[in-house]
Amino acid sequence: MRIAMGQLASGTDTAANLRTIDAYAARAAADGAALAAFPEYATYEKKMIDSTFPTVAQPLDGEVGRELSRIARHHGIAVVAGLVESSPDPSRAYNTLAAFGPDGALLAAYRKIHLFDAQGFRESDYVAPAPTTDPVVFDVDGVRFGLMTCYDVRFPRQAEALSDAGAHVLLACSSWVPGELKTKQWRTLLAARAIENSLFVAGICQAPPVSVGNSLLAGPMGDVLAELGLEPGVLAADITPEELASVRAHFPTRSQRRYL
């Protein structure tokens, strides 16, 4: 299967962000990708999360969700993108990844579990955590994808739970805040989650200056199979589930695990 990573430089103009997603999805489909994944906060983003996020939040079937569904259906490709979803608390939104199938149907919605209350940020001031910690997975053409968002990558048990739920590929849709050693940590953590779980891990990031860029696809041995630099763009790469079987046969850590 071929999947595409769409690295964006999203801002507060939701319509403009959606136009870029549409253009990148078209390019991904033309390149033979079955799925195109976009970053956290793909449809609305700022350098600092503030009180505007709850005000722009919409339900999954609102205008933003309907347009993402249309994009997927129009190009015949699965689309995963971060959006700001309304929550029961009007003062806080959900940071949500929505996955739409090539027919436009909603395949899955993942609300971020681990909010970024670190590095001087307080995401939880304006964003509500997911009401459940259950792993969120969905299937496209027989390949199972697991969803996680940005700061989640620092929590190995979440990736492990997605692996236990049958994921072949983790989509880590992110807006990784810049800082000392942050790009190195981003790359290292993605590779570590891939190695630990014998999975493919696609880290799809916002571009500078809001984030660090460097979207990449790590293979189950931790090798980088494809990567983008600092500029916005879209890049497709192939994943082979057969490679997972080979790696897991050589390193059967899943069956050897002894803790609960």
Phi and psi torsions of 208, nearest 5°: -60, 155
Classify 248 as helix, strand or coil.
Answer: helix
Candidates 112, 123, 173, 205; catalytic one: 112
Q: Are strands 2-7 and 35-37 parallel, antiparallel or unpaired?
A: parallel
Active site residue 112: yes
CA dist 56 and 88 (Å) reads 14
Cβ pair 72, 78 in contact under 8 A: yes
Candidates 45, 150, 173, 205; catalytic one: 150
CA dist 81 and 100 (Å) reads 9
CA dihedral of residues 29, 177, 231, 240 (deg, nearest 10): -40
CB contact burial 191-218 (16+ within 10 A = b; e otherwise): bbbbbbbbbbbbbbbbbbebbbbbbbbb
CA dist 98 and 208 (Å) reads 23
Active site residue 205: no
| Residues counted in the chain | 260
Candidates 40, 45, 85, 123; catalytic one: 40
Active site residue 40: yes
Burial of 48 (0-12, 13-18, 19+ CB in 10 A): exposed
Which residues are tagged catalytic? 40, 112, 150
